[in-house]
Amino acid sequence: MPEKRFSTADIIEAAFNVIRKQGWDKCTARAIAQNLGASTMPIYSGLKSMKNLQDEIAKRASDVLITYQTKKWSGFGFLELGVGYVMFAQEEKELFRMMYYKEPGQADDRERQKKYRGYVFDVLMDRLEHEEIMTGLSTGQRKEVLNKMWVFSHGLAMLINNSVIDPMTEQEISHFLMDTGGLIITGERARSPEKKKRRHNDEFTR
């Protein structure tokens, strides 16, 4: 009796489940086959390439991250991005590690990580355009705010993901990020061309 064939979507789903529970380094053809209840033969025949699988998994993990970052956690739209990022690292430990870690001996995956980090940023930039707190900031300034908040949130996310500090509630994370976010936005406003121009005029007329 011929073995059941699986679609690429089935294989991607199984691979995603393996990575989510066990990590990227455990995502082998054998592990995927076990998740599907099959032998490895239909896995090899159903996959176009391992690179294609990696891209599909990275895209799917990025979409999960976006879901976290656009969820209502704190009641403050701008803070949701940072809170969601940290909660993703806390609750989806293996997906976070796949996206942002490089284990010893692991192939350099910076290009793929950069590609999907850009994909996530583009989605979140659209969200920031409608945030009242961002009123008056240019697209470049909003991007700078997002980058700086990512750097700070990433540090906190790494500490929690590695169990260096204890897990935090969304309220605790929100309070932790609130002051930092306010300072970053205040700094960007102070650097805006209009603000600099007004400051120069004030100094000139003294």
- Which one has a higher pLDDT value, 126 or 88? 88
Q: What is the DSSP string of the chain?
A: -PPPP--HHHHHHHHHHHHHHH-GGG--HHHHHHHHTS-SHHHHHH-S-HHHHHHHHHHHHHHHHHHHHTS-SSS-HHHHHHHHHHHHHHH-HHHHHHHH---TTPPP-HHHHHHHHHHHHHHHHHHHTT-GGGTT--HHHHHHHHHHHHHHHHHHHHHHHTTSS----HHHHHHHHHHHHHHHHHHHHHTSHHHHHHHHHHHHT-
Reply yes or no on whether the pLDDT at 48 is more than 90. Answer: no
Reply yes or no on whether the pLDDT at 104 is more than 70. Answer: no
Reply yes or no on whether the pLDDT at 199 is more than 60. Answer: no
What is the domain class of 1-48 according to CATH?
mainly alpha
- Which one has a higher pLDDT value, 164 or 129? 164
Per-residue confidence (pLDDT) for residue 191, from 0 to 100: 78
Ordered by start, the domain boundaries in the chain are: 1-48, 59-204
For the chain, strand residue ranges (E) read none
Reply yes or no on whether the pLDDT at 204 is more than 50. Answer: no
Among the residue ranges 101-110, 132-141, 154-163, the one predicted with the least confidence is 101-110
Reply yes or no on whether the pLDDT at 20 is more than 90. Answer: yes
- Which one has a higher pLDDT value, 45 or 161? 161
Q: Which residues contact 60 (CB under 8 A, 6 or more apart)?
A: 12, 16
Please give the mean pLDDT across all residues of the chain: 81
pLDDT in tens, 143-195: 888 888 889 999 999 999 999 999 999 889 988 888 888 888 888 888 766 55
Per-residue confidence (pLDDT) for residue 195, from 0 to 100: 52
